[in-house]
């Protein structure tokens, strides 16, 4: 049975992949918002500047259409390890999230994970909807309102103290697993004071399973912050000094490269589908596709010569419209 995104030729609107994911194995993505609709505009965002900066929940797309497309794709591919609600914006902004999660459960094809920036978890209705997931990967990079505003550039109504309380309540009540992602921004949230305060908060979360330290592959050109290397993440972990597992982006095993059975048309198709969802840097494409840099560059140059893709000012690749 086909396993890759390249095996299905139909253009999809909401479903993305399956793609190999650092933390989730083979993950089939569900994107519920228009591109870059987010309550944050993070300094480290690898997509682009937030286009629709909002914290207002809406039905951005028909939940039934999402489920219909998901069923169709699941019928064409081998069962993924996870169905992952994430994508090119903040998924909890979709007011039909609870319904969609309930429908995914009924399909019973794979466990469901939600990747969220945590911004709306202070809302009881969002917590209730997220209870239907099997796994939550929320981001929490600081417990300082000032640093939070600097890193995430949230909509003005979002208050970190409410988010922290909402996250604590959720983790206490949730029966699935939770892994908090901390995005390490050198010189901003990795001072001794920042890490100590974050540690103190994390210690209050009684059922937190693990922590993941992430770092940008490459910063947007206009970003004021730098990328964190392995040493920086290791130092952060040491200072965090938690008794639960703390892994870093550099340690996660990636899906084995396809070099042994490099299939140009399949990889080209995967690239086009990935770029249809959002612009990607070469490093992102390498990791997601599990391909060697030189082969990937060769393919990108071919697609560029064919007028299908182009490089953006911040060194990402995007589709030619
Ligand atoms: S929360 Fe995610 S999608 Fe939104 S701006 Fe931050 S990194 Fe980008």
Ligand 1 pocket check for 115: Cβ under 6 Å: no
Q: Tokens in use for 17?
A: 């992949």
The DSSP line for 56-81 is --B--S-HHHHHHHHHHHHHHSPPPS
The DSSP line for 79-111 is PPSEEEEESSS-GGGBTTHHHHHHHHHHHTSS-
| Atom from ligand 1 closest to the CA of residue 153 | 5
Fold of 5-255: TIM Barrel (3.20.20)
- Altogether, the residues listed in the chain come to a count of 321
pLDDT of the residue at 5: 42
* Site to substitute for ligand 1 among 39, 45, 88, 139, most atoms within 8 A of C-beta: 45
96-147 residue pLDDT tens: 999 999 999 999 889 999 999 999 999 999 999 999 999 999 999 999 999 9
Dist CA 298 CA 262 (whole Å): 13
For residue 266, which of 4, 21, 1 has the smallest C-alpha distance? 4
Ligand 1 pocket check for 43: Cβ under 6 Å: no
Can you give the three-state secondary structure of 181-208, one letter per residue? EEECCCCCCCCHHHHHHHHHHHCCCCCC
Q: Which CATH number fits domain 257-321: 1.10.287.70, 2.40.30.10, 1.10.1200.10, 1.10.10.10?
A: 1.10.10.10
In the chain, CATH 1.10.10.10 covers 257-321
pLDDT of the residue at 317: 84
4-43 residue pLDDT tens: 444 444 567 899 888 877 788 889 999 999 888 999 999 8
Dist CA 35 CA 47 (whole Å): 9
Whose C-alpha lies nearest to ligand 1, atom 7?
Answer: 45
**Averaged pLDDT for residues 207-216:** 92
| Atom from ligand 1 closest to the CA of residue 50 | 5
73-100 residue pLDDT tens: 999 888 899 999 997 899 999 999 999 9
> In whole numbers, what is the pLDDT of the chain averaged over residues?
86
Dist CA 175 CA 178 (whole Å): 9
Is pLDDT above 60 for 254? no
**Could you tell me the distance, in angstroms and rounded to a whole number, from the CA of residue 49 to the centre of ligand 1?**
9
In the chain, CATH 3.20.20.70 covers 5-255
Is pLDDT above 70 for 220? no
């Amino acid at each position: 049975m086909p396993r890759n995104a390249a095996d299905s030729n139909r253009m999809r609107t909401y479903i993305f992949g399956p793609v190999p994911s650092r933390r989730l194995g083979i993950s089939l993505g569900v994107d519920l918002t228009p591109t870059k609709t987010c309550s944050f505009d993070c300094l480290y965002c690898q997509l682009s500047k937030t286009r629709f900066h909002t914290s207002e929940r809406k039905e951005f797309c028909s939940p039934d259409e999402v489920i219909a497309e998901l069923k169709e794709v699941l019928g064409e591919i081998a069962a993924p390890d996870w169905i992952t609600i994430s994508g090119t914006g903040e998924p909890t902004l979709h007011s039909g999230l609870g319904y969609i999660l309930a429908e995914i459960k009924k399909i019973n094809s794979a466990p469901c994970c939600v990747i969220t920036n945590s911004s709306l978890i202070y809302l009881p209705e969002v917590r209730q909807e997220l209870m239907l997931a099997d796994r939550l990967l929320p981001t929490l990079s600081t417990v300082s309102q000032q640093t939070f505003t600097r890193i995430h550039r949230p909509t003005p109504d979002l208050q970190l103290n409410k988010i922290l309380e909402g996250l604590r309540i959720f983790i206490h009540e949730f029966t699935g697993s939770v892994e908090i992602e901390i995005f390490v921004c050198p010189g901003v949230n990795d001072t001794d004071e920042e890490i100590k305060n974050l540690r103190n908060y994390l210690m209050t979360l009684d059922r937190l399973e693990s922590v993941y330290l992430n770092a940008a592959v490459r910063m947007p050109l206009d970003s004021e912050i730098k990328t964190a290397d392995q040493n920086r993440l290791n130092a952060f972990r040491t200072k965090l000094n938690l008794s639960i597992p703390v892994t870093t982006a550099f340690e996660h095993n990636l899906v084995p490269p396809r070099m042994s059975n490099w299939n140009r048309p399949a990889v080209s198709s995967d690239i086009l589908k990935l770029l249809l969802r959002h612009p990607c840097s070469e490093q992102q494409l390498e990791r997601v596709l599990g391909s060697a840099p030189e082969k990937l560059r060769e393919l990108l140059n071919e697609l560029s010569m064919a007028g299908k893709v182009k490089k953006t000012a911040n060194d990402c690749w995007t589709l030619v419209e």
